[in-house]
Amino acid sequence: MRIIVALDILNGKCVRLIKGDYNKVKVYNENPLEVAKEIECNGIEYLHLVDLDGAKNKKTVNYKILEKISGKTRLKIDFGGGVRSLEDLQAAFNCGASQVTLGSIAVLDPQLFLKWLAEFGQEKIILGADVRKRKVSTSGWTEGSDKEIMSFIADYRAKGVKYTICTDIDKDGMLRGPSTGLYKEILKIPGIKLISSGGISSVEDIEEMDKIGCEGTIIGKAIYEGKLTLKDLSRLC
């Protein structure tokens, strides 16, 4: 299972939100490149870079940070946040993203999402499936939808999606363990490669995600709050 470290960017700084609330922000480092280099120095290969400014503004904002990190590290970067246009998507790849996570556009414009999936390929496009009370949320978790999580992922899997990141918003930033039951349900969808996100607080949580069959798991706040160290994670890679 891939170990993926989350790096969330807001106003050019490395931050974390609680349950996606932009009014509950904690700044951990004012230099995202410094954080990325430390991740790389500990032998971790994968970075989940989230443009929170982009998600909120419905257009990608932090291209330059992506470009700087990809240019000065060897991290394999999954980038997401505010990608709503072909220009945004192409810029993300041009700035060094290995994969791009698309969530809101998959809810709001399924035909465009599927067009991009066909054009860029299933290895490059990750379906973002952020969920609150089994309904998919959009726009940096600020807007809800009527899309039920299981049918949302299953329908897109049937149309060619290979990877999905599922974040249980109510778990995110709470350090109370992941949504194991939900992830077990999703993993029953044939052929889906699930990247779990939200709630990880211990090595045991990570091992549990591996045991149930996740392709990857994203860890964020547990690192920044000192519950887990990058050395802890490097031993699991």
Per-residue model confidence (pLDDT) at position 145: 81
pLDDT tier at 219, thresholds 50, 70, 90? very high
Instruction: Tell me what percent of the residues of the chain surpass a pLDDT of 70.
Output: 95
* Predicted confidence (pLDDT) at residue 138 exceeds the cutoff of 80: no
As a whole number, mean pLDDT of residues 55-71 equals: 93
User: Is the pLDDT assigned to residue 172 strictly greater than 70?
Assistant: no
| Predicted local distance difference test score (pLDDT) of residue 177 | 85
Q: Label the pairing between strands 2-10 and 13-18.
A: antiparallel
Domains identified in the chain and CATH numbers:
2-234 (3.20.20.70)
Q: Within 13 Å, how many C-alpha atoms sit on residue 211's CB side?
A: 8
> What are the helix (H) ranges across the chain?
32-41, 52-57, 63-72, 86-94, 104-108, 110-120, 149-158, 180-186, 203-212, 221-224, 230-234
Q: In this predicted structure, what is the pLDDT of residue 174?
A: 62
Give the per-residue pLDDT at 114.
98
Distance between CA atoms of residues 201 and 204, nearest Å: 8
Quick one: average pLDDT of 176-205? Answer: 94
pLDDT reported for residue 168:
87
Enzyme catalytic residues = 8, 130
* Class of residue 64 by CB neighbours under 10 A (exposed 0-12, middle 13-18, buried 19+): exposed
Residue 2 is inside which H or E element, if any?
Answer: strand 2-10
Question: What pLDDT does 197 receive?
Answer: 93
* pLDDT reading at 212 higher than 90: yes
Work out the angle between the directed axes of helices 32-41 and 63-72 (0-180°, nearest 10): 30
Q: Is the pLDDT of residue 144 over 70?
A: no
Average pLDDT rounded to a whole number, residues 60-84: 96
**What kind and span of H or E run contains 165?**
strand 163-168
For 21-35, how does the pLDDT look when each residue is reduced to its tens digit (9 = 90+)?
788 889 999 999 999
| Beta carbons within 10 angstroms of residue 210's beta carbon | 17
| pLDDT tier at 222, thresholds 50, 70, 90 | very high
State the DSSP H helix or E strand holding residue 4, giving kind and residue range, or none if neither.
strand 2-10
CA of 76: how far to CAs of 114, 131, 154, 179, in Å? Answer: 24, 25, 27, 26
Entry pTM: 0.93
Q: How confident is the model at residue 170 (pLDDT cuts 50, 70, 90)?
A: confident
Enclosing H/E stretch for 196: strand 193-197
pLDDT in tens, 104-126: 899 999 999 999 999 999 999 99
Question: Which of 52-56, 110-114, 168-172 has the weakest average pLDDT?
Answer: 168-172
Model pLDDT, residue 141: 60
pLDDT, residue 136, reads 92
For position 21, what pLDDT does the model report? Answer: 79
pLDDT at residue number 16: 87
pLDDT value for 24? 85
